[in-house]
């Protein structure tokens, strides 16, 4: 039997080439203009699962974009790993800031990726990290080292709220039955210090609309006498944070999980350079909630950010207008034990209540999800830890991430199993930004590490069940 690392070395070029082909398809789920591309990507993923050795794979219809399902059964008595990932990607805009086409993948070396990185939208989030699992399966099947059963559930709506996923899971409880869920859609600290994400923030995403006069007005004739929806919107948004950058929505912090000084001290041990952080972003200073470090602000604390704002004349030149309407897209990152539905209601109630006379304000809830924490005494976590230790030669650090994968708490609720987040990306990979990329070292290291997770998880599972 051939060992995984030599198999990866031998097939390296093919693995990179196959991923590049997948990245060429612009599967932007947020924009209907790309809907055919999204569908084509689902087909391509199904094909790759069959070629990797799944007994069966299919493109399953949903009310939205389809979910690709695949499975390889070794023995019903053995545990089953369910791999989740997504084949859709974020919109590429602002396109003008990309150094190469977002859907025209190129391999370039960078300071952090001396062995090269693949630049394309979705390279890291999540086509690249999802495809590591496909190639890991290929190795295990080809070499008869697959120690357990495996199922794949790859969706196409993760970047727009996974709206069809719950519908699918509720209707396929038996089919999706598993002992642990494995996801690579997060990052790690660095290529020399791997980490495993043990916590994710929840999300509440809303759109707000401020309506003033029934038509755009001449700012000379009406300026100063009528509430200007843009000025009003800026005042309302500004009021959502106090002078300490605490969020002012009443009740917002009521259920926020209190983290002990010990835990905070433990987290603070993770290597972090504020200097490098500032330089990487070219900012003179960080900014955030008083009383917390940058790492804490972006992991264990809830936040509120405007993701988009628009109103009035935004074309070339000048137009002296008071617009009839102004809009903003606002998202809140939530922590355990905030409930996203409750927070969304609190926000809607508060934001509509602070509307001044002279305007009408409407808050439209968009989507959201709960925060999540994995206990590190879980055998899934332990298996992942041992796998990283083998391939990186160092024990991974458990870490809370600021991002959100809202569907994880849905998995726990519906499928009754824990999720392990084996991420191989880096914070500097620019996911959701222009010039997203994924290190070739990380891509191949992921393919090497995953089979070891299967090995250790099955061992721990069996010894566990013998107790």
195, containing H or E segment: strand 195-200
Report which of 384, 381, 378 is spatially closest to residue 454, judged by C-alpha positions.
384
Pairing relationship of beta strands 149-155 and 80-86 according to DSSP bridges: parallel
Q: Which is nearer to a copy of itself, 147 or 423 (CB)?
A: 423
Q: Which is nearer to a copy of itself, 86 or 386 (CB)?
A: 86
User: Closest approach of Cβ 206 to a copy of itself, in Å?
Assistant: 9
Q: How far is CA 419 from the centre of its chain?
A: 14
Q: Which is nearer to a copy of itself, 147 or 402 (CB)?
A: 402
Q: Which is nearer to a copy of itself, 116 or 434 (CB)?
A: 434
Classify 175 as helix, strand or coil. coil
Q: Which is nearer to a copy of itself, 315 or 393 (CB)?
A: 315
Q: Which is nearer to a copy of itself, 2 or 93 (CB)?
A: 93
Q: How far is 166 from 171, CA to CA, in rounded Å? A: 9
**If you ran DSSP here, which 8-state letter would residue 159 be given?**
G
Torsion of CA 390, 298, 406, 259, to 10 degrees: 80
Q: Which is nearer to a copy of itself, 134 or 334 (CB)?
A: 334
User: Closest approach of Cβ 275 to a copy of itself, in Å?
Assistant: 15
The alpha helices in 66-157, defined as continuous H runs, are: 127-142
Report which of 208, 206, 211 is spatially closest to residue 356, judged by C-alpha positions.
211
User: Closest approach of Cβ 201 to a copy of itself, in Å?
Assistant: 6
User: Closest approach of Cβ 389 to a copy of itself, in Å?
Assistant: 25
User: Closest approach of Cβ 97 to a copy of itself, in Å?
Assistant: 7
CB 371 within 8 A of CB 338: yes
User: Closest approach of Cβ 287 to a copy of itself, in Å?
Assistant: 4
User: Closest approach of Cβ 241 to a copy of itself, in Å?
Assistant: 7
Instruction: Output the DSSP codes for 45-62.
Output: HHHHHHHHT-SEEEEE--
């Amino acid at each position: 039997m051939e060992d995984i690392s030599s198999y990866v070395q031998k097939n390296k070029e093919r693995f990179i080439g196959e991923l590049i082909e997948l990245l060429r398809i612009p599967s932007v789920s947020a924009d209907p203009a790309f809907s055919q591309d999204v569908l084509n990507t689902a087909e391509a993923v199904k094909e790759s699962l069959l070629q990797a050795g799944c007994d069966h794979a299919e493109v399953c219809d949903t009310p939205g974009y389809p979910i690709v399902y695949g499975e390889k059964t070794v023995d019903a008595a053995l545990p089953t790993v369910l791999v989740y990932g997504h084949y859709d990607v974020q919109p590429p805009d602002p396109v003008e800031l990309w150094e190469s086409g977002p859907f025209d993948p190129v391999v370039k070396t960078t300071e952090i990726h001396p062995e090269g990185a693949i630049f394309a939208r979705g390279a890291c989030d999540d086509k690249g990290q999802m495809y590591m699992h496909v190639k890991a399966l290929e190795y295990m099947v080809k070499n008869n080292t697959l120690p357990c059963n495996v199922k794949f559930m790859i969706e196409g709506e993760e970047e727009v709220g996974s709206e069809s996923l719950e519908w699918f899971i509720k209707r396929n409880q038996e089919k999706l039955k598993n002992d642990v869920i494995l996801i690579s859609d997060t990052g790690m600290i660095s290529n020399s210090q791997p980490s495993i994400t043990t916590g994710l923030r929840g999300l509440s995403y809303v759109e707000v609309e401020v309506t003033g006069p029934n038509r755009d007005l001449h700012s000379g004739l009406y300026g100063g006498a009528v509430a200007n929806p843009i000025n009003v919107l800026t005042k309302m948004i500004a009021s959502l944070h106090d002078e300490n950058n605490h969020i002012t929505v009443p009740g917002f912090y009521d259920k926020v999980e209190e983290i002990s000084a010990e835990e905070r001290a433990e987290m603070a041990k993770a290597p972090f350079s504020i200097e490098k952080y500032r330089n990487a972003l070219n900012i003179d200073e960080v900014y955030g909630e008083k009383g917390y470090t940058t790492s804490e602000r972006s992991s264990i604390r809830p936040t509120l950010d405007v993701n988009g704002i628009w109103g009035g004349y935004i074309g070339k030149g000048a137009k002296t207008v008071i617009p009839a309407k102004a809009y903003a897209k606002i998202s809140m990152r939530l922590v355990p034990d905030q409930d996203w539905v409750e927070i969304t209601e609190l926000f809607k109630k508060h934001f509509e209540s602070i509307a001044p006379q002279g305007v009408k304000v409407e808050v439209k809830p968009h989507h959201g999800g709960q925060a999540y924490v994995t206990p590190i005494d879980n055998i899934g976590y332990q298996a992942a830890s041992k796998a990283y230790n083998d391939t990186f030669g160092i024990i991974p650090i458990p870490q809370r991430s600021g991002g959100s994968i809202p569907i994880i708490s849905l998995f726990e609720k519906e499928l009754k199993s824990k999720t392990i987040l084996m991420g191989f990306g880096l914070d500097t990979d620019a996911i959701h930004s222009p010039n997203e990329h994924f290190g070739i070292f990380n891509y191949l290291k992921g393919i090497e590490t995953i089979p070891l997770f299967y090995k250790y998880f099955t061992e721990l599972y069996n010894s566990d069940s013998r107790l």
